[in-house]
Amino acid sequence: MAGSAVRVPAARLEAARGWRPDEAQVATALIALLGATLVVIIALPLWSLLSKSFQDGAGAFVGLRNYLIYFSTPTLFASLLNSVWVAALSTAIVVPLAFVYAYGLTRSCMPAKGAFYAAALLPIFAPSLLSALSLIYIFGNQGFLRHWLLGASVYGPIGIVMAEVLYCFPHALLILVTALSLSDGRLYEAADALGTARRRVFWTITLPGARYGLISATIVAFTLVVTDFGIPKVIGGQFGVLATDAYKQVVGQQNFPMGAVVGMILLLPAVLAFFVDRFVQRRQVALLSSRAVPYQPKPERGRDLAFLGYAISVGGLIVATYGVAVWASFVTYWPYNLSLTLKNYVFENAEPGGWEPYRNSLAMAALAAAIGTALVFTGAYLVEKLKVFPAGRAFAQFLAMLPMAVPGLVLGLGYVFFFNAAWNPLNVFYGTLTVLVINTIAHFYTVAHITATTALKQIDPEFESVSASLKVPFWRTFSRVTVPICMPAILDIAVYMFVNALTTVSAVIFLYGSGTKLAAIAIVHMDEAGFIASAAGMGAVIMLTAIAVKLAHIALNRFVFERLQAWRKR
Amino acid sequence: MTEQPFLKIERLSKRFGAFTALKDIDLEVRRGEFVCFLGPSGCGKTTLLRAIAGLDPQDEGRIEIAGRDVSRAPPADRDFGIVFQSYALFPNLTVAQNVGYGLVNRRKGAAEIKRRVDELLALVGMPEQGRKYPIQLSGGQQQRVALARALATSPGLLLLDEPLSALDAKVRVRLRDEIRALQQRLGVTTIMVTHDQEEALTMADRIVVMNQGAIEQVGTPSDIYRAPETPFVADFVGHMTFLDAVATGPGTVRVGSLELAVTGNGALTPGEPMRLAMRPEDVRTRGIAADTPNRFDARIARIAFLGSFCRAQLSPTASPGTTISADFSTNAMRDLGIVEGETRTVAFPPDSLRVFPARESA
Ligand SMILES: Nc1ncnc2c1ncn2[C@@H]1O[C@H](COP(=O)(O)OP(=O)(O)O)[C@@H](O)[C@H]1O
Ligand SMILES: [Mg+2]
């Protein structure tokens, strides 16, 4: 009778019950703590921004007066129009470019798809303004191709649009590749069997199938351009846009209420995009039945060569542009003395802190990755897997999804108003690394949260039930089972946080202090002071660091998760 | 003196929003008993099991386990082991670590845990497999490990939620017998959820038939099969032919112009419309004498071959519009030379027939 031999005596069970902390209470407390944290790092800063836009400089409520001033001041209103048309033009260029590229990657048999994919993703690993710096080297006053512009200046809308197209290309591409790979191969087989003409197949099957992807890519590109700060700052010249206006109002003129109004206007397209995107996502999922068969392209010489040629020119252009910036950073005196030198990397000549901003960036990115990943993953676990306190979990879920709709610049403004407020005891953190780390975590919270939630949803929901029946508290199963299983997703989150923390400019530009300037901000300052080569050098250092981290991530995935952990499914 | 029930459920209800998943459930389970919750998908079996476990607490009602009121107790205070259809094994832990998962927390020595794990793995027929990972095992083996894990802490109550539904037919039958044998050896009170009537009939001491959040009938497998109390149970467990009938006397009904005697159904009120239910396998074709009750002639309209037996559709001569299913073993088919189109004398014993009031539809 094996079963009864080791039966735990009732008395001992009772004793065990005595010292064990109450799981439900711990869970409730943790969910409450998560909610409170998200309120502080997301909700209150946004609230500060909102309320600030209805106050005068002294903090008195003035209703819509700031908005009236905004719309009746021609220079401010002009920036709004500038932002809209520049974003519309950039989007109109980048989405078709990326669509054809994505089509080649998914629907043709062109060679070296991996390399072309990687080439197109390059801009993700650099601050947005690096593409602008590059364009200055190419088309600027000393640019070797400036005559191509037929006398027009690259400083202004032309430069902004070109740089934004480069910067947004990978973001649009990722969405379009996903949309095009979600197609059902059986539709094409059916069309083939019916002898449908090639052109008709494209217009009746391919394009409708990818239409949600196209909508999504359009919205994402438009929002990225409208809310981007780095590129117009570097290459915009006298051409005002919303993002640079917000910066000028807050940093230059200390006009916080007007900065808040610009922030609120910047919030509009992003919030709109957020809702359209969620609608589109839902439809996109419904599009693909579970029995769909992925489309497998067949080799076809002419078509494959055409797409190869296209990929070489577009992918090559991207790599070349960023390559110029890296090259120029090693050049003695562009374009007159092209001998190579390391003097531009002696940042002390261009920036009082020397290499310190880079070290700050590394520290900030490492902390944001470590703390942010722990917070996001634990938070997603509490929301997704626990049963107690449903209202608290729903509230936390809502706040976790909010940053998606908030551009970095807007969140940064909110942080200025919240963490700089005299009444706020947290204002001791203003200008410290702490506030930069918190802001970065909040800025990139949503994507990380979605990654964590997706991974958690794939785990058997009964693990919690089993451990409860075995009297093992949930936090033990969390650390012993859930975290190890989700390690690849956790690493994804950490790398995502790290890379974005390195490259972001928009949110942190308002928040750094004397000893906490970041590398991406140092680029802005060196560029302002005319040290373009050093600015490009700092950009190159950031980009190479981000790429190195990504490569390490890939290596870790290949060798640890796929080879050493035998228990993982392939 | 009656024995105190091990598990006692009183007036239990559970709602999901406006939908009532369980209504007014009363149930008692004796110590050491093997009880099956049987019912169609979505009838609330899992919901009831999870309420007993405390995983999804009920809205109203009382649950008592081993004399202790646990209605509001968290799962960890309820002393049960649970096995799911999905196995729910921790993929990153070895078989031994999975089985020992609940032991580690109880401040036991490593040697003691190892001894217990080995013992359990031997118990479920998987000795020497402790170092493997779940992904390296077949479905049946994984479910054995899950069973060993649930038994590791010697719980007073074992809960099984469709443990066999994800397995191949052959493995399912084998594991079914093994689980039953194991349960009897350990004497652990067990509740198993299933939608498979054969599983319930072969494994359970008692079956709880559920329908739309309520208990239809509780009884031994033969009670449930022989004497279904509601048309739902009659229809869900085994196969039944349902016919419209009218009561003609305290123990007789008429179908068309066919008069049949029914016993064991309580007194009938003459003239009342009834539903008559008969099992195909209760048909008699041999040794029918002139005084055999409920004998009638019927034409054999259609025969379907179903492996070890054939199912024929009978059309009584006295009531040609009626169709009654009847099963004949392959032996009987051969010995008696039953063929389509012929007319034969058959009988249904009065105690094999069930009648229900006509308004209760199956
Ligand atoms: N968490 C839930 N939320 C809403 N409805 C539920 C939930 N869980 C179960 N139900 C509903 O309750 C009914 C009973 O479910 P369940 O107990 O799982 O049935 P089964 O008998 O198949 O195990 C079903 O109709 C199901 O849709
Ligand atoms: Mg179920």
Nearest residue, CB atoms, B102 vs list A387, A470, A568: A470
Q: Using a CB-CB distance cutoff of 8 angstroms, which residues of chain B are in contact with residue A484?
A: 92
Whether A57 maps to a domain, the answer reads no
Show the CA angle centred on residue A308, arms to residues A307 and A311, nearest 5°.
Answer: 85
> DSSP readout, B155-195?
-SEEEEESTTTTS-HHHHHHHHHHHHHHHHHHT-EEEEEES
A235 CB-near residues (< 8 Å, 6+ apart):
A132, A135, A136, A154, A155, A156, A159, A160, A163
The partner residues of B16 in beta bridges, in order of sequence, read B19
Q: Share the mean pLDDT of chain A.
A: 89
Concatenated DSSP letters for A123-165? GGGS-THHHHHHHHHHHSTT-TTGGGGTT--STTHHHHHHHHH
Q: Would you call A362 helix, strand, or coil by DSSP? A: helix
**Closest-CA distance of chain B to residue A8, Å:** 7
CA gap B173, B168 in Å, rounded: 9
Nearest CA in chain A to B160: A466
Residue nearest to atom 18 of ligand 1 (CA): B46
Sheet holding B295-305, edge to edge: B324-329, B309-316, B295-305, B343-347
**Inside any domain, residue A333:** no
pLDDT recorded at residue A284: 60
Distance from CA of A480 to the nearest CA of B (A): 9
B120 Cβ under 8 Å from any chain A Cβ: yes
Q: Is A137 a member of any domain?
A: yes
Residues of A engaging B, defined by a Cβ cutoff of 8 Å: 1-4, 6-8, 13, 16-17, 20, 22-24, 387, 460, 462-463, 465-473, 476, 480-481, 484-485, 565-569
CA distance B45 to B35: 12
Whether residue A1 is predicted with pLDDT greater than 50 in this model: the reply is no
Q: Are B273 and B244 in contact (CB under 8 A)?
A: yes
Q: How many CB atoms lie within 10 A of CB A254?
A: 10
B74 and chain A: CB distance < 8 Å anywhere? yes
Question: Which own/partner pairs from A281-288 qualify as long-range (CB within 8 Å, at least 24 positions apart)?
Answer: A281/A212, A281/A216, A283/A212, A284/A179, A284/A182, A284/A212, A284/A213, A284/A216, A287/A182, A287/A209, A287/A212, A288/A182, A288/A184
pLDDT at A481: 95
Question: What is the pTM assigned to this prediction?
Answer: 0.89
Q: Are B82 and A465 in contact (CB under 8 A)?
A: yes
CB atoms within 10 A of CB B305: 10
What is the spatial distance between Cα B25 and Cα A315, in angstroms, rounded to a whole number?
67
Backbone angles phi, psi at A298, to 5 degrees: -105, 145
| DSSP type of residue A568 | S
Show the domain range for A104.
Answer: 64-328
Residue of B46, B82, B160 to mutate, ligand 1, most atoms within 8 A of C-beta = B46
How many whole angstroms from its chain centre is CA B98? 30
**Chain Cα centroid distance, residue A112:** 27
DSSP reduced 3-state for B302: strand
Of all residues in chain A, the percent with pLDDT exceeding 90 is 64
Residue of B90, B108, B135, B153 for testing the chain A interface, max A β-carbons within 10 Å = B90
- Token pair of B160 as six digits: 């099984």
Query: Residue A185: which CATH number?
Result: 1.10.3720.10
State the average pLDDT over residues A449-458. 93
Phi, psi of B355 (to 5 degrees): -125, 145
Give the HSE-up count for residue A318: Cα atoms under 13 Å, Cβ half-sphere. Answer: 29
Q: Which of B55, B74, B101 sits opposite A470 (nearest CB)?
A: B101
pLDDT classification of A11: cutoffs 50, 70, 90 = very low
Long-range Cβ contact pairs of B120-123 (< 8 A, separation 24 or more): B120/A2, B120/B148, B120/B151, B120/B152, B121/B95, B121/B96, B121/B145, B121/B148, B123/A2, B123/B148, B123/B151, B123/B182
Q: pLDDT digit of tens for each residue in chain B (362 aa)? A: 457 899 999 999 999 999 999 999 999 999 999 999 999 999 999 999 999 999 999 999 999 999 999 999 999 899 999 999 999 999 999 999 999 999 986 777 889 999 999 999 999 999 989 999 999 999 999 999 999 999 999 999 999 999 999 999 999 999 999 999 999 999 999 999 999 999 999 999 999 999 999 999 999 999 999 999 999 999 999 889 999 999 998 889 999 888 899 987 777 888 889 999 999 999 998 888 888 999 999 999 899 998 888 999 999 998 888 899 999 998 888 888 889 999 999 999 999 999 998 865 54
**Closest among B303, B306, B307, B285 to B294, alpha carbons compared:** B285
Phi, psi of B241 (to 5 degrees): -95, 130
What is the DSSP code string of B12-41? EEEEETTEEEEEEEEEEE-TT-EEEEE-ST
Element at A87 (helix H, strand E): helix A74-107
Return the structure tokens found at B204. 């359970």
**Better-predicted residue by pLDDT, A376 or A149:** A376
Size of interface A-B (CB pairs under 8 A): 108
The token pair that represents A343 in the structure block: 């003097």
Least confident span in A483-487, A564-568, B281-285, B318-322: A564-568
**Residue A289 pLDDT greater than 60, yes or no:** no
Say if CB B176 and CB B164 are below 8 A apart.
Answer: yes
Asked if residue A510 lies in contact with residue B192, where contact means CB atoms within 8 angstroms, the answer is no
| Residue B303 dihedral angles phi and psi, to the nearest 5° | -130, 130
Long-range contacts of B169-172 (CB under 8 A, 24+ apart): B171/B138, B171/B139, B171/B140, B172/B199
- Tens digits of residue pLDDT in A493-527: 999 999 999 999 888 998 998 889 999 999 999 99
C-beta atoms of A471 and B105 within 8 A: yes
When pLDDT is averaged across residues A368-393 and rounded to a whole number, the result is: 96
Residue A100 in domain: yes
Q: Give mean pLDDT, residues A485-491.
A: 94
Mean pLDDT of A233-262: 91
pLDDT at A18: 47
Spatial separation of the C-alpha atoms in residues B247 and B260, rounded to whole Å:
10
What would the two tokens of residue B278 be?
């008969």
pLDDT at A500: 95
* Residue linked to tokens 């190159």: A540
Give the other-Cβ count within 10 Å of B132's Cβ: 17
Q: Nearest Cα to B350, choosing from B269, B259, B285, B271?
A: B259
Q: How many CB atoms lie within 10 A of CB B205?
A: 17
Q: What are phi and psi of A355, to 5 degrees?
A: -80, -5
Residue B112, number of CB atoms within 10 A of its CB: 12
Report if residue A232 sits inside a domain: yes
CA A499 to ligand 2 center in whole angstroms:
45
- Taken in order B53, B56, B57, B62, the sign of the CA dihedral is negative
- Kindly indicate the confidence band of residue A464, based on its pLDDT and cuts at 50, 70 and 90: very high
* Alpha-carbon gap: A503 to the closest alpha carbon of chain B (Å): 35
A300 pLDDT exceeds 90?
no
CB atoms within 10 A of CB B232: 23
Q: In angstroms, rounded to a whole number, what is the distance separating the alpha carbons of residues B194 and A462?
A: 18
- Which helix (H) or strand (E) segment holds residue A101: the answer is helix A74-107
Domain annotation covers residue A59: no
pLDDT band at A359, cuts 50/70/90?
Answer: very high
Tokens of A171: 């973001």
* Cβ distance of B81 and A470 shorter than 8 Å: yes
* Residue closest by Cα to atom 3 of ligand 1: B16
pLDDT of residue A126: 94
Up-side HSE of residue A101: CA atoms within 13 Å toward CB?
30
Contacts 24+ apart (CB under 8 A), A7-16: A7/B154, A8/B106, A8/B153, A8/B154, A13/B79, A16/A471, A16/B106
Answer yes or no: do A1 and B82 touch at CB < 8 A.
no
- Write down how long chain A is: 570
- What residue has token string 């790599």? A319
Q: Which ligand is nearest to the CA of B20?
A: 1
- Helix%, strand%, coil% for chain A, nearest 5: 75, 0, 20
The Cα–Cα gap between A100 and B236 comes to: 58
Distance from the alpha carbon of residue B214 to the mean position of ligand 2, in angstroms = 15
Are B92 and A476 inside 8 Å of each other by CB?
A: no
Pocket lined around ligand 1, Cβ cut-off 6 Å: B 16, 19, 21, 39, 41-47
* Contact between B79 and A16 using a beta-carbon 8 Å cutoff: no
What's the total number of domains in chain A?
1
Torsion angle of C-alpha atoms A153, A157, A160, A166, degrees rounded to 10: -90
Residue A285 has pLDDT above 60, yes or no: no
Q: Which residues of B touch A473 (CB under 8 A)?
A: 76
Q: What is the pLDDT of residue B108?
A: 75
Q: What are phi and psi of A338, to 5 degrees?
A: -90, 10
Cis, bond preceding B316 (omega within 30 deg of 0)? no
Residue B308 has a pLDDT of: 85
**Rounded Cα gap, residues A60 and A43, in angstroms:** 21
Q: Is residue A203 part of a domain?
A: yes
The full length of chain B comes to 362
- A536 falls within a domain: no
Query: Regarding predicted confidence, which is higher, A292 or A248?
Result: A248
What is the rounded distance in angstroms from the CA atom of residue B235 to the CA atom of residue B242? 9
- Distance from the alpha carbon of residue B56 to the mean position of ligand 1, in angstroms: 11
| Two tokens, residue A536 | 């490009």
Q: How far is the C-alpha of A304 from the C-alpha of A110, rounded, in Å?
A: 5
